[in-house]
Structure 1
Amino acid sequence: FTDGRQIGATLDRNGLRPARYIVTDDDRVIMASEAGVLPVPEEKIVKKWRLQPGRMLLIDLEKGRIVSDEELKSEIATKHPYKTWLANTQLILEDLKPVEPRALRKDVSLLDRQQAFGYSQEDTKLLMSPMATTGQEAVGSMGTDTPISAMSDKSKLLYTYFKQNFAQVTNPPIDPIREELVMSLVSFIGPRPNIFDLVGNSRRKRLEVRQPILTNGDLEKIRSIGHTEDRFDTKTIDITYGSAEGAAGMQGAIDRLCERAEAAVAGGYNIIILSDRQVGPDRIAIPALLATAAVHHHLIRKGLRTSVGLVVESGEPREVHHFCCLAGYGAEAINPYLAFDTLLDMHKRGELPKEVDAY
């Protein structure tokens, strides 16, 4: 990389892309993936070395010197009081006092709620049970001969309409064990600070959570955060609408949802929870992905998106793909309350191994 005044190079953390360089007695620097790419007499070489994993090499053409990795990073790390800035602008969810989660709904049965969100035996037995038992996504075959959602005769969740165009892989493969220092599920909720504020004047705080999937207790902490932290105020917005309106009423419901979200931001709320907990015989839930995307893009168009964080409280998501889609369309954290209720019911009925703790 270069800007005309400085030229440099950096190596990946695993050192899988070799970079070797030499410095000659007439101040030439030659770098390539292999040594000996250009013929240089051995007596002219002052230094011969390689770029190490995760390290940088910078040549300052104006000062006529090579800046080492240690000097470069030390200069940047000590330029501002970053630790103080973080302490003033971050709040950790785990540090907040516990809040009692909401009681399970008694007015609408678990089965009725599962049917409202399209749950199936495949979801509970083949997908959710292995995740609860092993702590990871169930392994299955890569092939599928079912019709794509757009051409299927069966009603499908909105998430199934989103597929990758190709089998994307990382090279090198993602390794969360050996690269623990640079891999994290930590997420941040709330208004975004000004990226052009280089002196730390921003008063906007962000809420730090260990991972984007929230337990019911975590969500209640966020819902009541305004009572414990004066820089946060949370607004819960219902994303269900009257069943009497039918399918034709969804567009109007989405428009009203966007208006309520805009009004909430204008009213000073900086965390919005989009909730479909009110689903029932008289209330239809807007698909969580559609509601999230609608609010996200509406606030972008109004220039308000960076002033608020979006949290989704939905009974719909239960697969990793569902959470990825929601995150891709603006959700900063997700509470899959019905998935938790379902797993708790399965645990009570003995359908999960005894060693799996109740939620």
Structure 2
Amino acid sequence: AVVAAEGCSVLGWRDVPVDDSVLSGPTRRGRPAMRQIFVAQVGVGQMGVGREVDTSSSFEISLYVIRRRIEAALREVQGSDCYVASFSSRTVVYKGMLRPDQLVQFYADLRESDVVSAIAMVHSRFSTNTFPSWRLAHPYRFLCHNGEINTLRGNLSWMRVREAIMFSSRFGGRLAALLPVCGENQSDSASLDNALELLTLAGRPLAHAMAMLIPEAWEGHATMSPERRAFYEYHASLMEPWDGPAAVAFTDGRQIAA
């Protein structure tokens, strides 16, 4: 029903093929079941075969809304530990409590010769300021991050305050289904990823959105151009910086940067 409400249809489900033998005992016992769902917009050819994959912004927004509605429903299920690692026509996330050399051994898909990509973002890191888990391993849907967001508590508080006045013509009446923007009981990196995802799908270019979240130290920058300074000064009135020692790589499946 959630998928159909966004003008999409379910093409099918698939168990993700994995090799548990590469995992240690505790990691194996804590491994979640992994399934993939395939979704198409209504009107795409039979089972989506013979047509180019739809990577349009409108489809990405529909997938985002579907995922957020699913996440909201899961929050109502007591004890649910289900997590949607990715739900996009442009990217797919493979992650877990694995060493880099174990990733391709664990996920059989990554050994297939017809699995190709123009870009890839790989990161070897578990969450450090929260207890490590499969869902909190990097990368996230848009970014991977080294460091710490020292201003996280304030960032989350201000995000919740601003949710009451948020508006986007791209989301229309569906905006309420996307709230809260940042999930609870997750890492600083996961919350930053939530914020970047919203800004990007609301229409801001990827680099623009990241410059809003983690701006340069612009106020005392004597050689910065007036235009660049004006950019940062304007956006400082819209959002507080997510500040801290950080190295961030990010992608929307079309561009990749750090």
TM-score, scaled relative to structure 2: 0.26
Higher relative contact order (CA 8 A, sep 6+): 2
